[in-house]
Amino acid sequence: MTLFGTNGVRGIVNSEMTADMALNLGKSLGTYMHRHGLGSRVAVGRDTRISGDMLKSAAIAGLLSTGLEVVDVDILPTPALQYYVRDKTDAGVMITASHNPREYNGLKIVAGDGTEFSRQGEAEVEQIYYAGEFHAAQWNETGSFSSDQTILRTYMDGIISKVDAGTISTAGLTVVVDPGCGAGCGVTPILLRELGCRVITLNAQPDGTFPGRAPEPTREELGDLMNTVKAAGADLGVAHDGDADRVAFVDEKGEFLDEEDLLAIMAGHVLEGKKGSVVTPVSSSLKVRDVTESMGCELLWTAIGSIDVARKMIETGAVFGGEGNGGLIFPEFQYCRDGAMTAARMLEILASGRKLSELKQGIPEYYNTKKKIHVKDPKQVVEMLLTLDLHEGIGSAGDVGSVGDVGDVKVDRTDGLKLWYPDGWILIRPSGTEPLVRVYAESSTAGRTAELAGYGTDLVEEAARKVRQEEE
């Protein structure tokens, strides 16, 4: 059984994600820190979800029972907690289900350097959790508890110090901000006003019922923001997910900005200021690669997950990184996805007089598709896929056997199986949580993308057939 998914532990409150789990996760993390001598101070925060108080209190009790000192930082964006942990504590716990629907909540661990906890660390905490072998402090050594309210101010000052605040504040920009009643309420509207913008807010009261829209800032959820930007004649619309590590933008015409376009636009902006490499997961669009290479820089691909992107950035000294879902990382500030920082960097771009709709037109066009194929054991199917003679299914004239490159098709195993064609790619990955395999494809025309997705689907079905045959 796995507890930690791609982004911490998550589930529906009081059925899949309970107070007992938060308590034992707190004990497990405390035991892990005790075992490895990782220090004694842990910051615990939460987003605006209704069950936040319950899960936070339980996690705190668990941590205290192991003798750790807890600082309660209450409601704040995940990147604000990460900023605080980096400078002030030895670890952090965030109670959040990020962009998941209202009824969900979860728990995420932050390492002492402010980055997301490593997969290895998660695996050990998970092992402690299931073994139930918790470190229990002596009666006179249980932990102490305090709270700190200074954190949002410190975080906002940190952002302001890392952007061109002078240029932004003289530009007289009007911005509509929709934090979606999530953790961004306490930061982004205030930050943008301090940067000299005229700020209009929507859904800016913290409310765990999320009355205005769902926590995920998709195009479908942001109708009110798009309309308000247009009606107000604003320069930009900004929306966050529930814990404000991600951002979505609306241009001055009221149109939603595709997150892959955002990634490419921001890569261009960062590289204009400073040359270096850019890091992104293998699921990202070729848009960011094209922009990066057009600036004479290198794009580095990683496995899917913001922790993989952040670690690769640290390892290579990259100047920028991010995912095609609005989670962008600016290393001069910190090595984690940061929604408010991304909004501030976007203001820098607009302050130079450029319109977001025009910037979007400068990004090369690609067509993407994603398919789900239901299979019994997705990991096994993808393993089987790697033993297949690929040239049968992938529309290539190549005659090379399994797993090596096939003709002019390059085989890439960074995450699942990625096939690079001269004019596009297919990515095949097992889902970690559901019985399905995902097939992604991209090329510069809709027809070719559909064809590539078709090859990918055929390969998965062939592999699933072989797995079934072997079982019989």
Q: Which stretch binds Mg ion (CB under 5 A): 92-100, 219-227, 260-268, 344-352?
A: 92-100
Q: Which stretch binds Mg ion (CB under 5 A): 80-88, 90-98, 125-133, 358-366?
A: 90-98
Nearer Cβ to Mg ion, position 328 or 385? Answer: 328
Q: Are 171 and 68 in contact (CB under 8 A)?
A: no
Nearer Cβ to Mg ion, position 246 or 312? Answer: 246
Torsion, CA 114, CA 115, CA 119, CA 123, rounded to 10: 10
Query: Considering the rule CB under 5 A, would residue 98 count as an interface residue with Mg ion?
Result: yes
Rounded least distance, CB 241 to Mg ion, Å: 4
The Cα 137–Cα 143 span in angstroms is 8
Tokens of 274: 């400073």
Q: Which helix (H) or strand (E) holds 328?
A: strand 328-329
69-75 β-sheet, strand order: 9-12, 104-110, 91-95, 41-46, 69-75, 145-147
Site string for Mg ion, 371-410 (x = CB under 5 A): ----------------------------------------
> Measured at CB, which residue is nearest to Mg ion?
98
Rounded least distance, CB 284 to Mg ion, Å: 17
**For residue 32, with 0-12 CB atoms within 10 Å meaning exposed, 13-18 middle and 19 or more buried, which class applies?**
buried
Of 40, 57, 65, 98, the active-site residue reads 98
Rounded least distance, CB 382 to Mg ion, Å: 27
Q: 257-275: string of b/e by CB count within 10 Å (b at 16+)?
A: bbbbbbbbbbbbbbbeeee
Site string for Mg ion, 219-258 (x = CB under 5 A): ----------------------x-x-xx------------
The Cα 344–Cα 349 span in angstroms is 9
Q: Give the list of residues 6+ apart from residue 12 with CB closer than 8 angstroms, or none.
A: 103, 104
Q: Which stretch binds Mg ion (CB under 5 A): 23-31, 68-76, 98-106, 260-268?
A: 98-106
Q: Are 309 and 323 in contact (CB under 8 A)?
A: yes
Residue in the block written with tokens 């797995």: 467
Q: Which stretch binds Mg ion (CB under 5 A): 27-35, 66-74, 96-104, 430-438?
A: 96-104
Query: Considering the rule CB under 5 A, would residue 116 count as an interface residue with Mg ion?
Result: no
Rounded least distance, CB 163 to Mg ion, Å: 21
118 is catalytic: no
Nearer Cβ to Mg ion, position 178 or 241? Answer: 241
Cα 430 to Cα 82, 325, 460, distances in angstroms: 30, 19, 10
Nearer Cβ to Mg ion, position 10 or 418? Answer: 10
Size of the site for Mg ion (CB under 5 A): 5
Catalytic residues: 98
Residues in contact with Mg ion by CB under 5 A are: 98, 241, 243, 245-246
